[in-house]
């Protein structure tokens, strides 16, 4: 069925039917659009300077891009690739998360130790929250009540109440936290620490630490095993963790916190996105400038796709 | 940008005054130096060298401290040339046992040996002398500046990797140049390289006018070599060597490709953020000594954050434990060598325009930590002060 649809889409030459992975190229100021059916780059779209975080609105009619060095979050029409407008983002937006209300973006301003909350409809800054030095990882709980900002140099996860826009808890994590995600049920928060080499798991209710996962890649010095981006499978039972310059992705059992597998990918793997049916996983490899396609069921890399320089963020457009 | 920075400091002050549970006072003691004139004034030594890095580290600590109720302050004393550095150190140690020392090795050792300094934590940010990490080590001194040996080893790894194995060396007349030349010789031997020819720089002419005439002749009798090593610690004549040599050879050492704790061209691993924080505050680019001072105050900050204590014995134990790790924007976790108190760290090798390589280079393995392929390793260290 999916194949037929894709084929139909190609026949009609209307790209909106094709399932795509959008990848930001940090050092090219572009987005590479990968067709999930053909596993080829079909479009390269210019963006503002140093694009990193990327996410779609819930109806996929808009794509938000952190153009870090342009000090803006850009709003793009994914059909035309045209920039519709810029959002006031604060300085050096690196990463962000879209609230379940589809209306508020929580943006990490890396140079300013601030999290900026922007209303995408009024295009106004709703709040700025002082956080630690170099905020980067951003997560929102499924119920929308809590947003997390992690700060790379302060080494904390800051728990922000989305009603009051105030921090209600700070939890120390290991060195240089990079990415945060709530589990699908919202019960736990995962935070990766690049230099610490770990993923810490916190209980959402109490903010108590539940577990601390370590990674070991055969033949790679521990210092180079640096967890950054990660994603959960749909059933929430498995997590795929990018391990940076170890050039591997770890497959973690999200219930036992045990590492089940390591998959060799490109160099300095950053972030990732699943295809719509979750059968394929696309990882951005910063140093090698490519995207590795992983067959999720077989846990194998099946293809490398050349994209722009320093691919960073990835997002699915179904 | 500035406005936001100040606002956040004020915000911090108000928070910390309410709930400051731990007060961390750090001193920064600087021995001012009489710097002899050098051939060119193109790159003056900044007045706030080192100190500017400590200020950035302080702000980093304060932000973290603001969330934890930890208050950090930095006081700073300059001892004029010929002034009484011990008296100044005594005054500062009376206020706090956490002292960053920006002074030559001899002064550092005299401070470390004072009764008032026993049980204190001194952080060396200015003296790269190998002896301080070796027979002259002190249990109360940590080193965040890499030793000359670490930098030399970084360079030799690079030369091995490039297969530039035949070296020639020029060193200056200054004692420090001679000491660095010794370190280069030892490091070359460690990595199986040979320094086939050496010459001492002994010109008293103004090279700005006649480098093009003098340097080719001066380097003509070095014989054939792959690469020319320069040991010019005072930044005196080295700048006139590249492109003026008899043979067309790359220049490395204190000129050309330079191994250092830090360089303004380091930008990976989030370094761009540290660089811009520094430049915003200091109005200039960040130098190795600034980085060492930043790392010193961040070391204290990291230990206070993790232990919730400002007691020097608690901090020292944590800093030397396996738990300690400092994220230093160089791509690897940094920690202290338990046998001599040296901060193990990657060493960037760079020109003034770009990063060329970063040591440890791939392939230089170590049974414990690849960073220990740089500088004095445990078996060769003669430091006994750190033994329990």
Angle at A92 between CA A89 and CA A96, to 5 degrees: 60
Rounded distance between C-alpha atoms, residue B104 and residue B126, angstroms: 7
pLDDT at A235 over 80: yes
Q: Tokens standing for B62?
A: 């304060």
Partner-chain contact A153 B64, CB within 8 Å:
yes
Q: Is the separation of the CB atoms in A176 and A134 below 8 Å?
A: no
Q: What is the pLDDT of residue B388?
A: 60
pLDDT at B8 over 60: no
A147-151: list long-range contacts, CB under 8 Å, 24+ apart. A147/A97, A147/A99, A147/A106, A147/A115, A148/A180, A148/A182, A148/A189, A148/A191, A149/A106, A149/A108, A149/A115, A150/A177, A150/A178, A150/A179, A150/A180, A150/A191, A151/A113, A151/A177, A151/B63
Q: What is the pLDDT of residue B205?
A: 67
Pairing, β A156-161 against β A166-172: antiparallel
Residues of A in contact with B11 (CB under 8 A): 130
Q: What is the pLDDT of residue B203?
A: 76
Q: Is the minimum CB–CB distance between B273 and chain A shorter than 8 Å?
A: yes
Distance to chain A for B101, nearest Cα, Å = 24
pLDDT in tens, A10-47: 444 444 568 999 999 999 999 999 999 999 999 999 99
Q: Is the minimum CB–CB distance between B267 and chain A shorter than 8 Å?
A: no
Q: What is the overall mean pLDDT for chain B? A: 92
Distance to chain B for A252, nearest Cα, Å = 23
In this prediction, residues B266-287 reach a mean pLDDT of 94
Q: What is the pLDDT of residue A120?
A: 96
pLDDT at A117 over 50: yes
Distance to chain A for B85, nearest Cα, Å = 34
Q: Is the separation of the CB atoms in A131 and A151 below 8 Å?
A: yes
Residues of A in contact with B326 (CB under 8 A): 175
pLDDT at B10 over 70: no
pLDDT at A52 over 90: yes
For the CA atoms of B93, B97, B103, B108, the dihedral, rounded to the nearest 10 degrees, stands at: 90
Q: Is the separation of the CB atoms in A187 and A199 below 8 Å?
A: no
List, as ranges, residues 80-99 from A with C-beta within 8 Å of B.
91
Q: What is the pLDDT of residue A223?
A: 84
pLDDT in tens, B236-254: 899 999 999 999 999 999 9
DSSP B35: P
Q: Is the separation of the CB atoms in A31 and A307 below 8 Å?
A: no
Nearest CA in chain A to B8: A130
Q: Is the minimum CB–CB distance between A196 and chain B shorter than 8 Å?
A: yes
Q: What is the pLDDT of residue A112?
A: 86
Of the candidates A156, A196, A245, which has its C-beta nearest B325's C-beta? A196
Residues of A in contact with B63 (CB under 8 A): 113, 132-133, 151, 153-154
Rounded distance between C-alpha atoms, residue B214 and residue B333, angstroms: 46
pLDDT in tens, B52-91: 999 999 999 999 999 999 999 999 999 999 999 999 999 9
pLDDT at B271 over 50: yes
pTM summary value? 0.87
Identify which has the larger pLDDT, B39 or B352.
Answer: B352
3-class SS shares of chain A: helix, strand, coil, % to 5: 5, 55, 40
Distances (CA, A) of B167 to A52, B172, B229, B244: 44, 17, 7, 17
Reduced to 3 states (helix: H, G, I; strand: E, B; else coil), residue B235 is coil
Of the candidates B63, B276, B325, which has its C-beta nearest A113's C-beta? B63
Q: What is the pLDDT of residue A13?
A: 45
DSSP B37: P
Residues of A in contact with B370 (CB under 8 A): 221, 223
Beta bridge partners of A28: none
pLDDT at B1 over 50: no
Distance to chain B for A316, nearest Cα, Å = 26
The side-by-side arrangement of strands in the sheet containing A198-203 is A177-182, A188-193, A198-203, A209-214
> Which residues does A218 contact at the CB level (< 8 Å), separation at least 6?
A262
Q: Is the minimum CB–CB distance between B276 and chain A shorter than 8 Å?
A: yes
Partner-chain contact A132 B64, CB within 8 Å:
yes
Q: What is the pLDDT of residue B74?
A: 98
Pairing, β B121-124 against β B98-102: parallel
Distances (CA, A) of B120 to A150, A231, B97: 33, 46, 5
Reduced to 3 states (helix: H, G, I; strand: E, B; else coil), residue B386 is coil
Nearest one of B256, B260, B259, B236 to B248, comparing CA atoms: B256
Distance to chain A for B42, nearest Cα, Å = 31
Distance to chain A for B60, nearest Cα, Å = 6
Q: Is the minimum CB–CB distance between A223 and chain B shorter than 8 Å?
A: yes
Beta bridge partners of B44: none
Rounded distance between C-alpha atoms, residue A176 and residue A186, angstroms: 23
Partner-chain contact A175 B325, CB within 8 Å:
yes
Which helix or strand (DSSP H or E) is residue A4 part of?
helix A2-12
ipTM of the prediction: 0.80
pLDDT in tens, B80-99: 999 999 999 999 999 999 99
Rounded distance between C-alpha atoms, residue B242 and residue B228, angstroms: 9
Residues of B in contact with A197 (CB under 8 A): 333
Q: What is the pLDDT of residue B207?
A: 67
Cis preceding linkage at A303, omega within 30? no
Partner-chain contact A223 B63, CB within 8 Å:
no
Nearest CA in chain B to A157: B67
Q: Tokens standing for B275?
A: 């660089």
Instruction: Determine if residue A22 is left, alpha or beta; phi over 0 gives left, psi from -120 to 50 gives alpha, anything else beta.
Output: beta
DSSP B147: P
Q: What is the pLDDT of residue B20?
A: 56
pLDDT at A110 over 80: yes
B243-248: list long-range contacts, CB under 8 Å, 24+ apart. B244/B211, B244/B212, B244/B215, B244/B216, B244/B219, B245/B215, B245/B216, B245/B219, B246/B216, B246/B217, B246/B219, B246/B220, B246/B222, B247/B219, B247/B222
Residues of B in contact with A195 (CB under 8 A): 325, 327, 332-333
Q: What is the pLDDT of residue A76?
A: 97
Chain B interface test: which of A148, A154, A178 (most B C-beta within 10 Å):
A154
Rounded distance between C-alpha atoms, residue B125 and residue B122, angstroms: 10
Give the burial string for B46-69 (b: 16+ CB within 10 Å, else e): bebbbbbbbbbbbbbbbbbbbbbe
In this prediction, residues B191-201 reach a mean pLDDT of 94
Nearest one of A286, A282, A250 to A269, comparing CA atoms: A286
Q: Is the minimum CB–CB distance between A132 and chain B shorter than 8 Å?
A: yes
DSSP A155-207: TEEEEEETTTTEEEEEEE-SSSEEEEEE-TTSSEEEEEETTTTEEEEEETTT-
Rounded distance between C-alpha atoms, residue B355 and residue B158, angstroms: 12
Residues of B in contact with A111 (CB under 8 A): 1, 273, 276-277
Nearest one of B289, B310, B329, B282 to B55, comparing CA atoms: B282
Q: What is the pLDDT of residue A17?
A: 63
Q: What is the pLDDT of residue B208?
A: 67
Q: What is the pLDDT of residue B316?
A: 97
Q: What is the pLDDT of residue B36?
A: 81
Q: Is the minimum CB–CB distance between B370 and chain A shorter than 8 Å?
A: yes
Q: Is the minimum CB–CB distance between B326 and chain A shorter than 8 Å?
A: yes
Burial of residue A27 (number of CB atoms within 10 Å: 0-12, 13-18, 19+): middle
In this prediction, residues A119-135 reach a mean pLDDT of 95
Nearest one of B296, B326, B337, B305 to B100, comparing CA atoms: B296
């Amino acid at each position: 069925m999916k194949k037929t649809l894709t084929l139909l889409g190609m026949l009609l030459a209307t790209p909106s039917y094709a399932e795509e992975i959008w990848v930001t190229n940090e050092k090219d100021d572009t987005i590479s659009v990968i067709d999930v059916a053909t596993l080829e780059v079909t479009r390269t779209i210019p963006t503002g300077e140093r694009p990193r975080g990327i996410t779609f609105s819930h109806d996929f009619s808009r794509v938000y891009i952190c153009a870090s060095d342009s000090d803006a979050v850009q709003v793009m029409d994914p059909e035309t690739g045209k920039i519709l407008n810029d959002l006031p983002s604060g300085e050096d937006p690196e990463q962000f998360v879209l609230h379940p209300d589809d209306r508020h973006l929580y943006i990490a301003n890396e140079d300013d130790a601030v999290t900026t909350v922007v209303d995408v409809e009024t295009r106004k800054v709703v709040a700025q929250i002082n956080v630690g030095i170099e905020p980067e990882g951003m997560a929102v709980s499924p119920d929308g009540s809590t947003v997390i900002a992690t700060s790379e140099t302060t080494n904390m996860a800051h728990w922000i109440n989305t009603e009051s826009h105030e921090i209600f808890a700070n939890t120390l994590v290991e060195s240089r936290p990079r990415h945060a995600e709530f589990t699908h049920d919202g019960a736990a928060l995962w935070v990766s620490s690049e230099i610490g080499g770990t993923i810490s798991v916190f209980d959402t209710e109490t903010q108590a630490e539940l577990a601390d996962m370590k990674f070991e890649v055969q033949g790679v010095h521990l210092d180079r095993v640096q967890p950054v981006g990660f994603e959960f499978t749909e059933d929430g039972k498995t997590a795929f963790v990018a391990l940076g310059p170890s050039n591997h992705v770890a497959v973690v059992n999200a219930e036992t916190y045990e590492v089940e597998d390591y998959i060799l990918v490109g160099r300095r793997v950053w972030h990732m996105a699943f295809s719509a049916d979750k059968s394929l996983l696309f990882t951005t490899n910063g140093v090698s400038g490519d995207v590795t396609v992983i067959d999720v069921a077989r846990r194998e890399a099946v293809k490398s796709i050349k994209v722009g320089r320093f691919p960073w963020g990835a997002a699915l457009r179904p | 940008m500035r406005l936001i920075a100040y606002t956040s400091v004020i915000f911090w002050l108000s928070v910390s005054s309410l709930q400051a549970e731990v007060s961390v006072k750090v001193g920064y003691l600087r021995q001012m130096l009489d710097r002899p004139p050098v051939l060119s004034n193109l790159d003056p030594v900044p007045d706030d060298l080192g100190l500017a890095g400590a200020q950035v580290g302080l702000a980093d600590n304060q932000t973290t401290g603001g969330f934890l109720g930890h208050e950090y302050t930095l006081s700073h004393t300059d001892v004029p040339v010929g002034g009484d550095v011990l008296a100044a150190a005594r005054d500062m140690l009376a206020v706090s046992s956490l002292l960053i020392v920006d002074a030559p090795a001899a002064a550092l050792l005299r401070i470390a040996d004072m009764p008032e300094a026993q049980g204190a934590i001194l952080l060396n940010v200015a003296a790269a002398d190998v002896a301080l990490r070796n027979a002259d080590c002190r249990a109360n001194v940590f080193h965040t500046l890499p030793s000359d040996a670490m930098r030399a080893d970084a360079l030799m790894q690079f030369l091995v990797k490039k297969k530039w194995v035949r070296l020639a060396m020029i060193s200056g007349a200054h004692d420090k140049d001679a000491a660095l030349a010794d370190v280069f010789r030892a490091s070359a031997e460690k990595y199986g390289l040979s320094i086939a020819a050496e010459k001492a720089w002994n010109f008293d002419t103004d090279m700005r006018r006649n480098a093009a005439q003098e340097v080719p002749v001066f380097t003509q009798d070095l014989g054939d070599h792959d690469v020319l090593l320069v040991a010019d610690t005072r930044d005196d004549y080295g700048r006139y060597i590249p492109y003026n040599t008899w043979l067309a050879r790359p220049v490395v050492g204190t000129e050309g490709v330079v191994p250092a704790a830090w360089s303004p061209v380091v930008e990976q691993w989030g370094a761009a953020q540290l660089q811009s924080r520094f430049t915003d505050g200091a109005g200039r680019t960040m130098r190795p000594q600034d980085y060492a001072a930043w790392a010193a105050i961040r070391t204290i900050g990291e230990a206070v954050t993790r232990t919730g204590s400002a007691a020097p014995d608690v901090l020292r134990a944590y800093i030397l434990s396996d738990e300690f790790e400092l994220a230093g924007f160089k791509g690897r976790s940094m920690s202290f060598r338990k046998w001599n108190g040296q901060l193990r760290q990657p060493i960037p090798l760079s020109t003034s325009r770009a990063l060329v390589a970063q040591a440890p280079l791939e392939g230089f393995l170590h049974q414990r930590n690849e960073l220990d392929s740089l500088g004095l390793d445990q078996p060769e260290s003669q430091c006994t002060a750190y033994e329990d």
